[in-house]
Structure 1
């Protein structure tokens, strides 16, 4: 079954298309279930304002819009409502309140920053030292062990900026994958950059060497489109290619996640 639980909206300031555009494209692309997981707002203790996520006051409209569309298209596709969240220890109490208040179906773990983006840079652009690589590992493991998340999105995100998959990357990958296996937490095979990689002839994520490690450690994969443009859901080529790649590796692949109201 073709599913995707990693879908963004224009509220994050770097996606294109209305909520309904994404749903219509998913139907055209043959998806049976579409989960929205836009970048979570955070109610910061400081005056910091992020330019890659919605504001807390925008969250009610996000939920309302998706609930209305879920009802409108209920006979054509199943819609789930979630968020993509970092592991920010100081703000988890607020996040747990939001999950309960809005009865979210799920949240996924996007390990973008170490503990807060108020002062720590984006891992996908600034993991160019061993120290940053180790911070990525630390926060990835802490977040997975929190028990909050349905899966770890783009677990190999550090390879977007780290120069080569060296000995240090292999160790970090092993540690992350072993914890994921122990916790029975799926790892996302993220195809959000597949077209960009192909156009530019580069390899970053999904990184083949990381996924060799994940296979060796017995991890479970789930394919994530990480859709920032609605039409990306209409093109099955990258999804089907990902499924074939994982099959060739011999990885266990799932297409459904447990939802919070089912636990």
Structure 2
């Protein structure tokens, strides 16, 4: 089954296309199931306002819009409603309340900041020093062990700014992959940055060195587009390439994420290849 659970909307302020555009593009691209997981809002204790996520008051409309599209296109595609969330311990209680209130289908773990973006910078721009790399590892493992998430999105995000895959990266990667395998949490083989990498001669994620370690540690993987433009769903080039790359690595691939039990345990994944 062809699926994508990593889909953003314009509410995050850095995506293009209406909610319905994404659904129509997914149908055109041959997807049987489309999961929306826009960047979660957080009800901060301070007056901080993030510039890359929806506001708390937008969450209700987000869910209502997707429920409407789920019904409208129910005979053409299955639509799941989720969020991409960081592990912010101080705000976990609020998040659990929203998950239960809106009966969300799943929660992706996007490890973007250490504990809160009020104080800590984005890992994708600031892991060039060892301290930040170690904080990335710490929050990734804490988040997976929290039971909130059914998948770790772009687990090799730190390679967006770390100079090269050295022995420190190797150790961090092994710890993350061992935790994911122990908890049966799939790692997302994120292809959302591949086009940018190719255009600029970069190799960030998916990072081959990381995924060799994931294979050796017995991890499972799910392909994620990290779609910020509905047109991303209309081309199969990167998706198909990811399928072949995971086969070459002999990594078991899952194509379905099941819903969480609202923070009590990690979700199970079906359809292993």
Asked if Structure 1 and Structure 2 have the same fold, meaning a TM-score greater than 0.5 normalized by the shorter chain, the answer is yes
Q: Write the distance in 2 (CA, Å) between the matches of 1:161 and 1:196.
A: 14
Q: Does 1:242 align with 2:242?
A: yes
Q: 2: distance between equivalents of 1:260 and 1:77?
A: 21
Superposition misfits of 4+ residues, deviation over 2 angstroms: 260-263
SS in 2 for 1:221: strand
The secondary structure found in structure 2 opposite 1:149 is coil
After superposition, residues 169-184 of structure 1 pair within 5 angstroms as 169-184=169-184
Does residue 27 of structure 2 align to residue 20 of structure 1?
A: no
**What are the residue-to-residue correspondences of 1:95-244 with 2, within 5 Å?**
95-244=95-244
Matched residue, 2:94: 94
1:43 aligns with 2:52: no
- Residue in 1 that maps onto 2:8: 8
State the alpha-carbon separation in 2 of the partners of residues 259 and 91 from structure 1.
Answer: 21
Q: For the Cα contact (< 8 Å) 2:181–2:220, is it kept in 1?
A: yes
Where in structure 2 are there 5+ consecutive unaligned residues? 262-266, 269-273
Q: Secondary structure at the match of 1:256?
A: strand
SS at match of 1:68: helix
Q: Secondary structure at the match of 1:260?
A: coil
1:52 aligns with 2:52: yes
Specify the SS of the correspondent of 2:83. strand
Using the alignment, how far apart are the partners of 1:114 and 1:180 within structure 2? 18
1:52 and 1:30 map into 2 onto residues whose CA distance is 29
Cα displacement (A) at 1:194: 1.1
SS of 2:42's equivalent in the other structure is coil
- SS of the residue corresponding to residue 125 of structure 1 reads helix
Give the Å deviation of 1:260. 3.0
Whole-Å separation in 2 of the counterparts to 1:32 and 1:195? 24
Distance in 2 between residues matched to 1:98 and 1:133, nearest whole Å = 30
Question: Would you say the 8 A contact 2:148–2:260 is kept in 1?
Answer: no
Matched, 1:68 2:45: no
**3-state DSSP of counterpart to 1:253:** strand
In the alignment, structure 1 residue 81 sits paired with structure 2 residue 81? yes
Q: SS at the partner of 2:257?
A: coil
C-alpha deviations, 1:90-110, integer Å up to 9, x for none? 000000000000000010000
* Cα shift at 1:197: 1.0
Cα distance in 1 for residues equivalent to 2:78 and 2:257:
13
Unaligned runs of 5+ in 1: none
Distance in 2 (alpha carbons) for counterparts of 1:138 and 1:172: 9
Moved more, 252-261 or 64-73: 252-261
1:195 is displaced (CA, Å) by 0.9
Cα drift, residue 258 of structure 1: 1.4
